[in-house]
Amino acid sequence: MITFVKKQHFMEEILKQFPNLTDIQKQQFQKLEALYQDWNAKINVISRKDIDELYTKHVLHSLAIAKIQPFEPGTYVLDVGTGGGFPGIPLAILFPDTRFYLIDVILKKINVVKAVAEGLELKNIKAEQLRAENVKGDFDFIVSRAVTNMPDFYSWVKDKIKKQNKHELKNGILYLKGGDLTEELKDFPKATEYNISDFFSDEFFETKKVVHLPLKFKA
């Protein structure tokens, strides 16, 4: 069970990092715990060990993407291998004017995502059981959390990027990954690694990174 102290600490941290949250957004972040505790008891989408660290290991970790690149209104984001809804759901709370398309190959996980989104009254999420290769459409950014290695991930999504850029970072992949990525990224000279520990102080983030890989539009 997440203690009241942990939850308070998280809300203080999130308000420090994102000071312009509306009351609705604050309530949505606070509701995440009860929703995930309830669904995790029925369908194990987050490991029992990690559910107690939900706010650090899942919610705050997901929001690291927002520290690297905040999304403009009207942005369209694909979350590949979303699992229980990470990073898509925390980002959808933070950016209500951005559309998020969350996919996973496991139906029970997508059902949890839909239920959590409904419980939070999020109107900017669509969730489907689908393989990344079969997704139709073009996106400003494609996000994911260590779902596979970058070469495979790139092969799944390389033709799903919008032509028009409207952000500081070029359209492409924003990927949450940990450890030494030298070997994995050796064929991607344009990839940039950002250390999450530069802005989140918890020791969990010491080796965690956001990787940005710009992708070219393919007609």
Give the global pTM.
0.95
Q: How far is CA 11 from the centre of its chain?
A: 18
Q: SS3 of 104, please?
A: strand
pLDDT at 4: 65
**Cβ proximity of 90 and 84 under 8 Å:** no
What beta strand segments (E) does 105-160 contain?
Answer: 125-129, 141-145
Other Cβ atoms less than 10 A from the Cβ of 113: the count is 28
Return phi, psi of residue 77, to 5°: -125, 130
CATH number of the domain at 4-214, please? Answer: 3.40.50.150
- Burial class of residue 186 (count of CB atoms within 10 Å of its CB; 0-12, 13-18, 19+): exposed
For the chain, count helices (H), then strands (E).
7, 7
**Cβ proximity of 177 and 211 under 8 Å:** yes
| Domain chopping of the chain, boundaries | 4-214
- Burial class of residue 3 (count of CB atoms within 10 Å of its CB; 0-12, 13-18, 19+): exposed
Q: How far is CA 68 from the centre of its chain?
A: 12
pLDDT in tens, the chain (219 residues): 556 667 778 888 899 999 999 999 999 999 998 898 888 788 777 777 777 788 889 999 999 999 999 999 999 999 999 999 999 999 999 999 999 999 999 999 999 999 999 999 999 999 999 999 999 999 999 999 988 999 999 999 999 999 999 999 999 999 999 999 999 999 999 999 999 999 999 999 999 999 999 998 876
